[in-house]
Structure 1
Amino acid sequence: MIIQVKVPSPGESITEVEVSTWLVKNGDYVHKGQTIAEIDSDKATLEISAEDDGIITLMVEKGERVRVGNVLCIIDSSKKEKFTKKYQDNIVHDHKKKDNLEKKYSLKIPSPASKKILKEKHIPIESIQGTGKHGRITKKDCIFHLEKIEKNEIPFFPNEPVTMYRSQTKTTLSSLRRKLSKRLVDAKNQTASLTTFNEVDMQEIFLIRKKYKDIFKKKHGVNLGFMSFFTMSCVRALKLYPDINAMISGEEKINFEYYDISIAISGPKGLIVPVIRNTEHLSFRGIEQEIYKLSTRVHNGTISIDEMTGGTFTITNGGVFGSMLSTPIINPPQSAILGMHKIMERPVVINESIEIRPMMYLALSYDHRIIDGRESVGFLVSVKESIENPIKFLMGGSEKNIYKKLEL
């Protein structure tokens, strides 16, 4: 039976995809459910699985663009019995091949790794005594020989003058990466982007997390992370400075009265920015559970187009990669993005005394066409005061309300 494997729809409005990777070769035997290819759209990467056991015939080349609904490959499920016999024949063939290789090794043929060393270091093969099976020259033999040369225990007579080995590799950018590149360039060219900075003392957040993180994890099944505090702080600041939660459409400015926060997450295919909807109605538990769900879907490749569409403001955390300071790029058509960074212990002045505190730099990149310096600075000051005094600004003003806010 011939089975046609067709291009699925990655989402509404997407009519064409690119075959980014074939995980099998033409004529391979595949099993039902086996991942055979990956396809890229402008917004996501999807895995394609075999729909039955059989011999596969590829109908599309790697890198080729294909319309949704077209045939990617066909699987001939009638050749299962033939494959079993072919598999047994291959075992016999491989055994014979192994015997022939052992005979070749006795001719002092170097292993692939040692052959590379001999070529790069210009060492005559006759000068090395092989200690491998049947006298084969191994990588260890080459390293031992080079160590003796360095110690001047043996002379070095190279076959040819030593030259530098320089190489380069070219790979085609995926459809997703090309789309991301275009969006980033457009964001720089089409906005009047500026960045303002501040720093925040993370000590109070550290103390709250240390005291309540275990019971929070036990009760809700997710960690009490930094992102819920920053997300709530941003929602509070966006309410105070509504133009930061706005966008330009033609000659009009659109102010959103809801807060859909995009969270940048690094996945196997690059940076993905899923959206937490109506964040103003979520608790610490709700935000952390949403982040966990979206992060899991990004890393296992199941994030949907709808989950990445929209968003009125973005938060990105370069600190997870060790970044101390950066200028994040606006995620269009949004008008601003908050960049978090690495937490570092630094000396600061507290009540006329020098103390060591866990400090983080914050950066707000914004579109100066609709956001002025007063709003951008005020926004960061608001986030700073929320993070440095979360009990007052995020948890109802008293420590007894922490249990209620954390739903413990």
Structure 2
Amino acid sequence: MNRMRQRIAQRLKEAQNTCAMLTTFNEIDMSNIQEMRARHKDAFLKKHNLKLGFMSAFVKASAFALQEQPIVNAVIDDATKEVVYRDYIDISVAVATPRGLVVPVIRNVETMNYADIERTISELGEKARKNELAIEDMDGGTFTISNGGVFGSLFGTPIINPPQSAILGMHAIFDRPVAVGGKVEVRPMMFVALTYDHRLIDGREAVTFLRKIKAAVEDPRVLLLDL
């Protein structure tokens, strides 16, 4: 294995050996966010010179949920065994490169709008592909999002990125029959998974957190109205 692969393997084993990992799942109806993107992507591109993707919606929704459930944004200090709460939200976004998986960090997401997030994702992704990421670009995240959906993943359980306490796994969007108002309709659906450290986070907090993300993505007005 090359040095990067060895480092990835070391961190994955560190997570397995340290955390009490548990995963909870949900599914998201992507109809509204797809409609919003289709309606506004051209104007967004014209104003910001950026493509409007789905990742920014999940980053924004995650920041919203992390503020509601700060325990998911916290970490256990292994030296003191104390819980350390962070008053900032730095979200690591997993990026696959020819050399391996890297996780650059979007900092202070709670202060960002969609354009800020898309711009930062674009800049970090370009640096990752050119192998120009510095240590500072990948250090200090408080939560991670991994999108296996870009490769067609239907379902999966992501592994925590230590020393963080949770990771969100996105998956591919597939049309599936679902019950809507007592009728069966075909909707674009995505499975999502939240793996969390059960030493710190209980099931109630984890499920509530994931449902908050679901609500914010399914109805973007939740974010606008702070619901």
Same fold (TM over 0.5): yes
Partner of 1:229: 57
1:394 aligns with 2:216: no
Instruction: State the distance in 1 between where 2:4 and 2:97 align.
Output: 12
> 3-state SS of the aligned residue for 2:50?
coil
Question: Which whole-Å deviations, capped at 9, do the CAs of 1:43-71 have from their partners, x for residues lacking one?
Answer: xxxxxxxxxxxxxxxxxxxxxxxxxxxxx
One-letter code aligned to 1:210: A
Partner of 2:163: 333
Partner of 1:79: none
Q: Among residues 70, 77, 80, which one is paired with 1:242 in the alignment?
A: 70
Instruction: State the distance in 1 between where 2:64 and 2:47 align.
Output: 26
Q: Among residues 303, 321, 324, which one is paired with 2:154 in the alignment?
A: 324
Instruction: State the distance in 2 between where 1:309 and 1:389 align.
Output: 32
- Aligned sequence identity (%): 50
CA offset at residue 395 of structure 1? 2.6
Question: Which whole-Å deviations, capped at 9, do the CAs of 1:370-389 have from their partners, x for residues lacking one?
Answer: 00000010011111111111
- Point out 4+ residue stretches in structure 1 off by more than 3 angstroms: none
Matches within 5 A, 1:86-235: 173-235=1-63
1:306 aligns with 2:155: no
> 3-state SS of the aligned residue for 2:156?
coil
Compare CA radii of gyration and give the structure with the larger one.
1
Partner of 1:260: 90
1:352 aligns with 2:220: no
One-letter code aligned to 1:181: A
Question: Which whole-Å deviations, capped at 9, do the CAs of 1:189-232 have from their partners, x for residues lacking one?
Answer: 11100000000000000000000001111111111110111011
Partner of 2:201: 371
Q: What is the CA RMSD across the aligned residues, in angstroms?
A: 0.9
One-letter code aligned to 1:259: I
Partner of 1:149: none
Instruction: State the distance in 2 between where 1:396 and 1:378 align.
Output: 19
Question: How many residues matched?
Answer: 224
Instruction: State the distance in 1 between where 2:100 and 2:161 align.
Output: 15
CA offset at residue 271 of structure 1? 0.7
Unpaired runs of 5+ residues, structure 1, are 1-172, 398-408
Instruction: State the distance in 2 between where 1:303 and 1:190 align.
Output: 27
Question: Which whole-Å deviations, capped at 9, do the CAs of 1:116-140 have from their partners, x for residues lacking one?
Answer: xxxxxxxxxxxxxxxxxxxxxxxxx
Partner of 1:7: none
Instruction: State the distance in 2 between where 1:280 and 1:272 align.
Output: 22
Instruction: State the distance in 2 between where 1:381 and 1:329 align.
Output: 20
Instruction: State the distance in 2 between where 1:296 and 1:353 align.
Output: 44
One-letter code aligned to 1:218: K
Partner of 1:121: none
Partner of 2:106: 276
> 3-state SS of the aligned residue for 2:45?
helix
Instruction: State the distance in 1 between where 2:49 and 2:146 align.
Output: 24
One-letter code aligned to 2:61: S
Instruction: State the distance in 1 between where 2:33 and 2:26 align.
Output: 17
Question: Which whole-Å deviations, capped at 9, do the CAs of 1:3-52 have from their partners, x for residues lacking one?
Answer: xxxxxxxxxxxxxxxxxxxxxxxxxxxxxxxxxxxxxxxxxxxxxxxxxx
One-letter code aligned to 2:49: G
> TM-score scaled to structure 1, two decimals?
0.54
Instruction: State the distance in 1 between where 2:197 and 2:95 align.
Output: 23
Q: Among residues 282, 289, 298, which one is paired with 2:119 in the alignment?
A: 289
Instruction: State the distance in 1 between where 2:94 and 2:224 align.
Output: 25
> TM-score scaled to structure 2, two decimals?
0.97
Instruction: State the distance in 1 between where 2:84 and 2:212 align.
Output: 23
One-letter code aligned to 1:191: C
> 3-state SS of the aligned residue for 1:394?
helix
Instruction: State the distance in 1 between where 2:116 and 2:13 align.
Output: 34
CA offset at residue 396 of structure 1? 3.6
> 3-state SS of the aligned residue for 1:362?
strand
Partner of 1:381: 211
> 3-state SS of the aligned residue for 1:222?
coil
